[in-house]
Amino acid sequence: MLEQMGAAAKAASYKLALLSSREKNRVLEKIADYLESQSQEILLANEQDLLEARRNGLSEAMLDRLALTPARLKGIADDVRQVCNLADPVGQVIDGGLLDSGLRLERRRVPLGVIGVIYEARPNVTVDVASLCLKTGNAAILRGGKETWRTNAATVKVIQQALEECGLPAGAVQAIESPDRALVNEMLRMDKYIDMLIPRGGAGLHKLCREQSTIPVITGGIGVCHIVVDDSAEIEPALKIIVNAKTQRPSTCNTVETLLVHQGIAGTFLPALSKQMAESGVTLHADANALALLQNGPANVVPVKAEQYDDEFLSLDLNVKIVTDLDDAIAHIREHGTQHSDAILTRTLRNADRFVNEVDSSAVYVNASTRFTDGGQFGLGAEVAVSTQKLHARGPMGLEALTTYKWIGFGDDTIRA
């Protein structure tokens, strides 16, 4: 079955690659319209998914993440309309010129071809990914969370209907309509058909893809992010940034998980931190030195466990560690970070420079919140994923990350000397 899907996606990708921006936007608008006008079957499928999820004992919070309503579906349709407004990177000439040999060479941006996406429960991702792939002339094979497989299948059916009405093959957007996990392993080896694989999920999914996939994988989305409080930091602005980085949306990958506090400022900074964190409802996980300075403060504080430096809390919890100097802080980040987002709060130019140059993360910040690592915030218009690997795309991935390029050589019966 997957073999057939792959061949259909590849065939569709050749057609999509030839479309103009106007033609692609026409499909997207039709998809948006159909998501509203044909919502009935999607909502019905979602009800069945929710029923089963409730039977399986999923939490109310989780059920809420899975649930679709007419209003949510309208929001999703509006997001598709937004994608129409984005600039289309396909066809852009990156560079070019006339070579000594007489060959006129240009490098032109083209779609990747077929993109595979494996994601977890939220049903809006189906439409989100499909619209970004179509906008860039790519076909997509989607494998959503098993909790919403009926919703995803119904959604893709509506998308396919819109595609066909625009004279395009249904193979352009396909979903694996089965909760069977073995299909994921099969998908990971379809390098004949799939050009890039994007896993959107937890560390386990990323590890599985890295180890099993024969398709190039973009991994990311895991953020053990740090903020270094340098000895020259100003306390009030530092606290403002930490509150933002920890509490604005604690469940995201760009949330700070560990504070590294210079020993020279710890004595004045940590009591102020304790007061602020108590107000913000944050529990501190402190190393021995920090604990001594925090234990009489108003904030909740517990001793840190060593392994907590390597994991995301994704909650109102924050590690606090005292470091002897900037070298110590950088060494900690190199050992425990995930190369996502790290910041320094400092008033010393040389330390800011050193941090920026020596910390090897997708995004590094000086006197700013780690929460900025986001496609929308960076002005990319859309966000396909946040990559923490170094090849192809790093940090927030916009539409350009869904493209590659080809070299085009125009000769006049030109041969190599």
User: Which of 54/334 has CB closer to its own copies?
Assistant: 334
Bin 118: left if φ > 0, else alpha if -120 < ψ < 50, else beta.
Answer: beta
User: Which of 281/411 has CB closer to its own copies?
Assistant: 411
Distance (Å, whole) CA 68 – CA 154: 12
**Beta 173-175 vs 104-111: how paired, if at all?**
unpaired
Q: Is 212 exposed, middle or buried (0-12, 13-18, 19+ CB in 10 A)?
A: middle
Instruction: Report in angstroms how near the CB of residue 407 gets to its own copies at its nearest.
Output: 4
Instruction: Report in angstroms how near the CB of residue 176 gets to its own copies at its nearest.
Output: 22
205 to 53, 145, 190: CA distances (angstroms): 21, 12, 17
Q: What angle do CA 404, 407, 410 make, to 5 degrees?
A: 150
User: Which of 54/189 has CB closer to its own copies?
Assistant: 189
Q: Return the SS3 of 255.
A: coil
The H or E element spanning position 247 is helix 235-247
User: Which of 102/303 has CB closer to its own copies?
Assistant: 102
User: Which of 67/372 has CB closer to its own copies?
Assistant: 372
Question: Can you give the binding site for its own copies, defined by CB under 8 A?
Answer: 14, 17-18, 97, 99, 101, 103, 105, 110, 112-113, 191, 195-196, 210-211, 214, 216-218, 234, 237, 240-241, 244-245, 248, 334, 356-358, 360-369, 371-373, 377-379, 389-392, 394-396, 404-416
User: Two tokens at 269?
Assistant: 């900074």
Instruction: Report in angstroms how near the CB of residue 100 gets to its own copies at its nearest.
Output: 8
Q: Return the SS3 of 241.
A: helix
User: Which of 48/214 has CB closer to its own copies?
Assistant: 214
Instruction: Report in angstroms how near the CB of residue 376 gets to its own copies at its nearest.
Output: 10
Instruction: Report in angstroms how near the CB of residue 78 gets to its own copies at its nearest.
Output: 21
User: Which of 73/194 has CB closer to its own copies?
Assistant: 194
Rounded to the nearest angstrom, the gap between the alpha carbon of residue 372 and the centroid of all alpha carbons in its chain is 13
262 to 174, 233, 258, 259, 329: CA distances (angstroms): 52, 9, 13, 10, 8
User: Which of 40/248 has CB closer to its own copies?
Assistant: 248
Q: What is the dihedral of CA 48, 50, 53, 57, to 10 degrees?
A: -130
1 Cβ neighbours under 8 A, 6+ residues apart = none
Instruction: Report in angstroms how near the CB of residue 329 gets to its own copies at its nearest.
Output: 14
Instruction: Report in angstroms how near the CB of residue 333 gets to its own copies at its nearest.
Output: 11
Residue of 110, 112, 109, 113 whose CA lies nearest to 93: 109
Instruction: Report in angstroms how near the CB of residue 179 gets to its own copies at its nearest.
Output: 27
